[in-house]
Chains A and B, each alone.
Chain A
Amino acid sequence: VSQELESSTSVGGQFYRRYSELVSAYGEVWPTPGLTSISATTQNRSASQTSVENTTVGMYVQEQLSWQNRLFLTGAVRGDDNSAFGVDYDFVTYPKVSAAWVVTEEPFWNYDFANTLKLRGAYGESGQQPDAFVAIRTFSPVAGPNNVGTVTPDNLGNPDLGPERGTEIELGFDAGLFEDKVGVEFTYYYQKTKDAILLREIAPSTGFSGSQWVNAGEIKNSGIELLVRGTPWETSRHSLELTFNLATNDNEVLGLGDVTDEDFISAGTYLRHQIGYPVGSWFSPRVVSAEFDANGTAINLRCDDGHGGSTDCSGAPNVYMGRTVPSTEGGFASTLTLFNNIRLFAQLDFKTGFTKLDGNYRVRCYFFAECRENWYPTEFDPAKIAEIQAAGTYAGAILDDADFLKLREVSVSYGVPSEWVSRVGARSGNITVAARNLYTWTKFMGLEPESTFNGGSRGGSFSLWEQNVLPQLAQLVVTFNVSF
């Protein structure tokens, strides 16, 4: 446009088709050794074929303005239609606008400690498409009486299903300090998702089973993302680099639209999407006090009434027991380089502000009576024993804070001298010894705060349910890389 103002316009279209097909064959028992094909098996032979297809047609137009290479303004709009939208849902458009200001390019900037500083802000709308075929009610082919081909109800579907729409505001800055020895990236985000696509269970009395995707009202997410990098020591042969990252999330269901008359929808056993609370939170009645009778049976149970008091447990409400998504997570990493070819690396990760269910404790103590709590109940808090003895009504005894700090990796890497590797015709070589998952600091009652088993009625992707799963194993990995 001029020497100071540049303009760039772009338009585009998109046709995106995702098609995946899985074909599998199964068989048992080869009659003699040496056979390897499925067709040579003699029992329970079966085959299956599934495919998923999803198509999106989209287009966009974007205009970007740049003034003196220090102020940038971008506006864009895109539109999509998708094969997975419900019958009653059509084309969707997403606008966005963003601005960035490189303050250090301004003549008035006289602060030497900050060699680069960019302020940025953005507003945008985006969408998340439903999965293929989930909107339509379907039957699946099965063998019927006398093995005739027939159909059975499969997916309940949802004719009103459309994309979820997110509106997000981001504010932040990128800074380089002390000649880039320290770098800071900071972002604050505030996101509102309308028509959030959530999975809800289906009551089997409908004739269908499993789950149904619904556009369930409004969800708010906000938080910060921080990355700090530093190089406190650097010479021609040695250096120390440190990195710290932190992300927080405040998540809340603001509304559930018209998919329910209640203030929640169930997401699985003890799990709800409930207005006023984070998505996929734990809910259960909670015993707050009890007494023991002469046999060690908990009696006179009182439960949380949800308003700071207590009530008789027979009609006690489900109360909030914690969120499944960590509210804070981050990590710290350091890399010490010595003599340019020895590299010592260590990384710590942490997650806090979430609650996990110990399913192993649940089955051992609630159902199989194999815990000390079952045989010597009076050694324990009667409120906890009351929950255990109720065998499933209450989740308080099996939910626990899952905060942890984990020494994720410690490694040492050595660059093998080139004259050594050149003997085998290589240009360079490197040997690394890494130890992973060395130690976890946590008060979580179960085996490990990170391992989960996700199952349909256990909450699917929202579930933090530990049962019959291995904890993350400590690993010692030795790697030898050679480049030719």
Chain B
Amino acid sequence: MSAYRVNDKKNRERTRNTVSYLLRALRRTPALGTLLVAGTLMLPSGCGDVLDVQPPDLIPAEGLAAPENAELLLNGAIGDFECAFGAYVALTGVMAHEMIDATQPAARWPYDRRNVIPNDALYGTSDCTGMGIYTPLSTARWSADYILENLQGWTDAEVPNRQELIATAAAFSGYAHLLLAEAFCTVAIDLSGELSSSTVTEMAIARFDTAIQTAQAAGATDILNLARVGRARAYLGLGQDSNALADAQAVPADFEYVATASGDFSRRANRVYAQNGLGSSAGTALSVGEAYRDMTYNGQPDSRVPVSDFIRVNTDGTDLYLQLKYMSLDDPLPIATGDEARLIVAEVQGGQTAVDIINDLHDAVGLDPFPGGSASEIANQVIEERNRELWLEGHRFFDIRRLSLPLVPAPGTPYRKGGTYGDNVCFPLPDVEVRNNPNVG
């Protein structure tokens, strides 16, 4: 029998109940006897087996949450996150105008135009391949919490490397919470009421706390640093700068943790490249935002924002520019890096520390050094360095909200494909949650 046999408990009960029913009927109605005998001969092994159906392309949850499936479920949670993360980077990139929409059908214009409404299906209910983010992130959050909770209930004897697995699950849960908090004006978790971004960020921090403690105990350095960057990002969002600084300073400069990608499966494809890139498997549904098409510093091209003019106008009239940061569907997307950690340090500390970090980053790509200046000039340059260094990595949308950066084009400006620009700096809680969550609304 398969490890995923459907509802053995149900089938045993069915067999008992059905047989007892038939026997009662037989006693009351002798005419049924012939039929039952014939039926019994026809049925190979009773109704329980007859009704035992096997969905060959689905896996019943019953029995899946077992210690021997710990790695399977954890990989599932990571896969769900990677899927959601790709869509998150691409869609929030549009909202932040790192990229702009280049499609003729109007379904995605509200994202380009920053006036998304709660009953828009794309961001609310679409899967990650369709650029949805609320549902994929919620699934990733649930999957990570599900395996985390199970892992915490099992023992080290049952699950090899359990501490490291706990750390990994907690870190991915933390990131799923954090991205929900950053992108959405309010969030619901497990049918909760409407939670503020800061509340969900605190929930993310609690997961990162678990990840950091268990990763330290297990000696899982990569997960430890992933969780440190995540927690630093979360603290920064809450304005708890000293906590952010402490975590960010502990991360090595060359650290990088990525969401893997693959062109072999559509849900695993690098979503940015699938929407815009150079090559036959890249899409042209997006173009590069105007501000990023020719980024220079002191007249020098900034190679952290590599862009090519495709010298083509798409069917909707948008000039096509191609991002060259990701060059294939297989290119991984950075989730957390040492550069991000250093920029958090630069933002919190400012002054010469920030100038030194900026110049390290400039030196790495051959740009002139930043000479420094007043505190606000340095702070502004740090923001600009984040804009370039973390381009198309899923940071800019929340930076606009967190730092109250000006919206470009300004709200009210006519949108090139119809209507006017709005002022969304976060996604509203989608109607699909509001309508179906008894604790919301």
Chain B residue nearest to A455 (CB atoms) is: B121
Min CB distance A371 to B, Å, is 11
- Contacting chain B: which of A144-152, A171-179, A323-331? A144-152
Is A142 located at the chain interface by the 8 A CB criterion? yes
Which residues of chain A from 447 to 471 have a CB within 8 Å of any chain B CB? 455-458
Q: Given A139-B76, A145-B79, are A205 and B192 also a contact pair (CB < 8 Å)?
A: yes
Size range of the interface on B?
Answer: 35 or more
Min CB distance A240 to B, Å, is 51
Q: Is the CB of B118 within 8 A of A152?
A: no
Q: Is the CB of A44 within 8 A of B281?
A: yes
- What would 28 A/B residue contacts be, using CB atoms closer than 8 Å? A12-B35, A13-B35, A49-B57, A55-B50, A57-B43, A59-B35, A87-B9, A136-B55, A137-B62, A139-B59, A140-B58, A143-B262, A144-B75, A150-B75, A151-B59, A153-B80, A155-B58, A203-B188, A203-B437, A203-B440, A205-B189, A205-B437, A206-B142, A368-B106, A368-B418, A368-B419, A391-B117, A457-B124
Give every chain B residue within 8 A of A12 (Cβ-Cβ): 35
Which residues of chain B from 140 to 185 have a CB within 8 Å of any chain A CB? 141-143, 145-146
State in angstroms the CA–CA spacing of A147 and B18 once bound together: 44
Is B190 located at the chain interface by the 8 A CB criterion? yes
Which of A79, A155, A204 has most B Cβ within 10 Å? Answer: A204
Q: Is the CB of B72 within 8 A of A392?
A: no
Give every chain B residue within 8 A of A55 (Cβ-Cβ): 50-51, 53
Q: Is the CB of B433 within 8 A of A90?
A: no
Is A478 located at the chain interface by the 8 A CB criterion? no
State in angstroms the CA–CA spacing of A86 and B73 once bound together: 24
Chain A residue nearest to B9 (CB atoms) is: A87
Q: Is the CB of B60 within 8 A of A136?
A: yes
Q: Is the CB of A457 within 8 A of B7?
A: no
Give every chain A residue within 8 A of B419 (Cβ-Cβ): 367-369
Q: Which of B22, B36, B119 contacts A269 (CB under 8 A)?
A: B119
Which of B9, B38, B139, B438 has most A Cβ within 10 Å? Answer: B139
Given contacts A144-B79, A205-B191, 20 further A-B contacts (CB under 8 A): A51-B57, A55-B51, A59-B25, A85-B10, A91-B18, A137-B60, A137-B61, A140-B57, A145-B260, A150-B79, A152-B79, A153-B139, A203-B432, A207-B138, A207-B139, A207-B143, A209-B125, A368-B106, A456-B125, A458-B121
Chain B residue nearest to A202 (CB atoms) is: B436
Q: Is the CB of A145 within 8 A of B47?
A: no
Is B31 located at the chain interface by the 8 A CB criterion? yes
Which residues of chain B from 95 to 135 have a CB within 8 Å of any chain A CB? 106, 109-110, 115, 117-121, 124-125, 127, 134-135
Is A9 located at the chain interface by the 8 A CB criterion? yes
Give every chain B residue within 8 A of A153 (Cβ-Cβ): 80, 139, 142-143
Binary contact readout B39-80 vs A (1 if CB under 8 angstroms, 0 otherwise): 100110001001111111111111010000000110110111
Which residues of chain B from 12 to 36 have a CB within 8 Å of any chain A CB? 13-14, 17-18, 21-22, 25, 29, 31-32, 35-36
Is A401 located at the chain interface by the 8 A CB criterion? no
Is A67 located at the chain interface by the 8 A CB criterion? no
Chain A residue nearest to B264 (CB atoms) is: A147
A→B interface (CB under 8 Å): 9, 11-13, 15, 43-44, 46, 49-51, 53-55, 57, 59, 61, 79, 81-83, 85-87, 90-91, 132-133, 136-148, 150-155, 157, 200-209, 260-262, 265-266, 269, 363, 367-370, 391-393, 455-458
Chain B residue nearest to A21 (CB atoms) is: B56
Min CB distance A284 to B, Å, is 10
Is B82 located at the chain interface by the 8 A CB criterion? yes
Q: Is the CB of A138 within 8 A of B35?
A: no
Q: Given A145-B260, A152-B79, A208-B139, are A203 and B125 also a contact pair (CB < 8 Å)?
A: no
Q: Given A55-B53, A81-B51, A150-B76, are A204 and B433 also a contact pair (CB < 8 Å)?
A: yes
Q: Is the CB of A139 within 8 A of B61?
A: yes
State in angstroms the CA–CA spacing of A43 and B61 once bound together: 34
Q: Is the CB of A15 within 8 A of B438?
A: no
Q: Is the CB of B52 within 8 A of A83?
A: yes
Instruction: List 3 A-B pairs, minimum CB-CB distance, nearest first.
Output: A207-B142, A144-B79, A266-B435
Is B280 located at the chain interface by the 8 A CB criterion? yes
State in angstroms the CA–CA spacing of A265 and B106 once bound together: 30
Is B233 located at the chain interface by the 8 A CB criterion? no
Is B327 located at the chain interface by the 8 A CB criterion? no
Give every chain B residue within 8 A of A208 (Cβ-Cβ): 139, 142
Give every chain B residue within 8 A of A370 (Cβ-Cβ): 418
Give every chain A residue within 8 A of B117 (Cβ-Cβ): 391-393
State in angstroms the CA–CA spacing of A286 and B14 once bound together: 50
Q: Is the CB of A9 within 8 A of B191?
A: no
Is B268 located at the chain interface by the 8 A CB criterion? yes
